[in-house]
Structure 1
């Protein structure tokens, strides 16, 4: 097979940083990178949303000694307004005559045709996945098990905990909640495990991570006979989009209400299925108000300086915490604390964070393998309802 010369556009490198190795195919083909593409990557590295992907693309270029980067001499003489036109002119002047432009930009494909430059699409997209997405809580058959992970054996999940391998062939029921999927059942297995102090859950919207965490917390605080956990804390980062929290009327709970209304609704749903009277000031009231002695909602900013003991802590939407905020929060945990960290690294609302640089991902990256920590990607076939299922299935 004849050797090919591929010139890569910026979008190809961003969609799949591994495209360099894939297209080079060992030593078979030659990869060229226009200097203008490097300039585009240099600008994009400051974008908090895709900066982590840019760094992967740059690392892929640096690690491959066979990549030919066009020298800057010709590129810096160009004064075209559009980067695409600069790339095309670089190809015309710097690339071999048989060079093929690889781009998924349809307009650039048309422009390349005008210049007589052969063009191909790169279809093998490899979206960035954070550590909390890649490590699902399962290890493959034959792979060395990690602390508190699962492994499939003959269709049965085997839990590798401190007491050795254990088949999870039973179903939990916690505070009247029956798991809708095997993954929800395994999440409850981790939440209720006495050897696990800290657990994180990654999942898309609608797979029940907050509902399960609340059910487990109610069980541990209100039902379990040893009564070692006396209180539930719900901690949530507040990413303010509309009215600033400081200007909202009322106490902390009232200020937080717009941000945790869905939590209140889930608690009422659990309370309706099985009374949780002690978490409310007056369970018979029409407007249920939380009892701060049993259930307290705190914004992250109020946690600094606290010492939390004998409690179950739920950290919701942890992907909106920074690494330093995560460290500050988790170091507030004292004796006899069980903590559930929930979130989805694909739904980062904090403008200063991204899929890689956020509290949930840092937690998985740094704590994976510790004996009292567990992580799981929650998935399944059922979620909030048919509309959510349809959206998730269609990958809208």
Structure 2
């Protein structure tokens, strides 16, 4: 049986992490409880998670003594640990300062010394704490239950070589049966190429059953003034405009057109086709670099710095679509057809019959993503856009963010589609910067 000593950031990252260590001992230092107490008054997601942890521990306290250990529903045992003050304080003996991290390390070392036959592991999302633990001969691990490695991430696309006869049959029948043996996911996009002439291609996708290929929606004429410039953008517009698909994830580096295409499709579906009540565009309020401090003014004025990229995209779409149906973005926002908001206030809502675009989704945790998707009501379509290599949230990284999490979890679902946009189209300079820098 192993002894897992948990750091505060593990519980704040995933309040349900107590149940993810199988039938082993889960040990929480008393300092972690004190830190959670400091977070619980915050109105942020961290505050919500802290309150969830406190309630979970309180319910376990009613089942037995947290000092002696309470059995968890998965067969493990939870215990709150603390060190009695000794004449030679081990913390002061090892470290020069008596910080919370050092006291947690000291307690983990004491557990390792008291139970030499059991495997003691410190679990923390703090890299420096793991380094210090390793230096002291204590095994340390990151919390990896919800980690998804980018190199193994589902791309949503594949290529397939077929004979000239099969290509002709596909163009005639509008479908092509897939051979057995390989696993294909619903809405996985496929480029069919003719064996004798690879330049002859057809853009297709796997149907909801996963057994045949069907053509994608033809969007060569463009959507709200935006014309697809490459194969991935054709795939993206198909997913965005397919009424059967309710969740779309668009992943790509800066300048690949993720947000612009999502908003163009949303405007078409909302303003022109009137299939949704409004277009809702939201993004997490996490800045790049140093914070600006408290901003004066109304809620709209406070959110303006974070929402300006969305307004820029709306202005560009207004300029591009100069046809009879064109309307300025300001007019659409005043009429309520477009709503721009922060994700901070989404908890508790039920959002029905709306086209939702969640921008910069790589800054969300898996729990935040779950909170957002569970707000979706009947008739709503939700699009997540993000780049796992541009993360500003200090509490997630390229493997533990919620954006990668939903891509991995929803790939086998018939109502979801994922496209990885690879070619930058913003400008030649932006494409060079994304690749070189």
TM-score normalised to structure 2 length: 0.56
- Pick one of 311, 330, 337 that aligns with 2:373: 330
- Are the structure 2 counterparts of residues 50 and 350 from structure 1 closer, same or farther at C-alpha, using a change threshold of 3 Å? farther
Query: 1:217: which partner in 2?
Result: 266
State how far apart, in whole Å, the 1-side matches of 2:243 and 2:409 are: 22
1:353 and 2:396 aligned: yes
Q: Tell me the CA shift for residue 340 of structure 1.
A: 0.7
Q: Please state how far the C-alpha of 1:213 moved relative to its aligned partner.
A: 0.7
Contact 2:157 2:190 in 1 (8 A): yes
**Deviation sequence 1:271-298 (CA, Å, 0-9, x none):** 12225437534x8xxxxxx326211112
Contact kept? 1:236, 1:316, Cα under 8 Å: yes
Change (3 A) 1:146 1:132: farther
Contact 2:236/2:419 (<8 A) preserved: yes
Instruction: Report the equivalent of 1:261.
Output: 308
Equivalent runs, 1:147-166 vs 2, <5 Å: 147-154=186-193, 155-162=201-208, 164-166=212-214
Contact 1:49 1:355 (8 Å CA) reproduced: no
Residue pair 2:219, 2:237 contacting (<8 A) in 1 also? no
Structure 1 segments, 4+ long, off by >6 Å, are 42-45
Alpha-carbon distance between aligned partners in 2 of 1:341 and 1:49, rounded to the nearest angstrom: 32
1:379 counterpart residue number: 422
Does the aligned pair in 2 maintain the 1:48–1:352 contact within 8 Å? no
Using a 3 Å threshold, how does the CA distance of structure 1 residues 170 and 253 change in structure 2: closer, same or farther?
A: same
The answer to which structure, 1 or 2, has the higher relative contact order (CA under 8 A, 6+ apart) is 1
Shift of 1:235: 1.2
State the partner residue of 1:96. none
**Corresponding position of 1:98:** none
Structure 1 residue 309: deviation in Å? 1.0
> In the TM superposition, what is the alpha-carbon distance from 1:249 to its structure 2 partner?
2.4
Alignment length (residue pairs): 271
Whole-Å Cα distance in 1 between the matches of residues 395 and 421 of structure 2?
Answer: 26
Give, in whole Å, the separation in 2 of the partners of 1:294 and 1:323.
29
Could you give the per-residue CA deviations for residues 285-319 of structure 1, whole angstroms, max 9, x where no partner exists?
A: xxxxx326211112111111211111100000111
CA displacement, residues 196-237 of structure 1 (integer Å, 9 cap, x when unaligned): 00000110101010110111010000111xx22010111111
What TM-score, normalized to structure 1? Answer: 0.62
What residue in structure 2 maps to residue 340 of structure 1?
383
Kept after mapping to 2: 8 A contact 1:131/1:364: no
- Counterparts in 2 of 1:243 and 1:311: CA distance versus 1, 3 Å: same
TM-align CA RMSD: 3.1
1:133-185 deviations in Å (ceiling 9; x for gaps) = 73111146473210110123213332112385223494431011111111111
Q: Which runs of 5+ in 1 are unaligned?
A: 1-41, 55-71, 78-127, 284-289
User: 1:188 maps to which residue?
Assistant: 237
Report the CA distance between 1:131 and its aligned residue.
4.8
Within-5 A mapping of 1:217-236: 217-224=266-273, 227-236=274-283
Aligned residue in 1 for 2:185: 146
Question: Offset at 1:76?
Answer: 8.4
- Residues in 1 aligned to 2:409 and 2:192: alpha-carbon distance in whole angstroms: 28
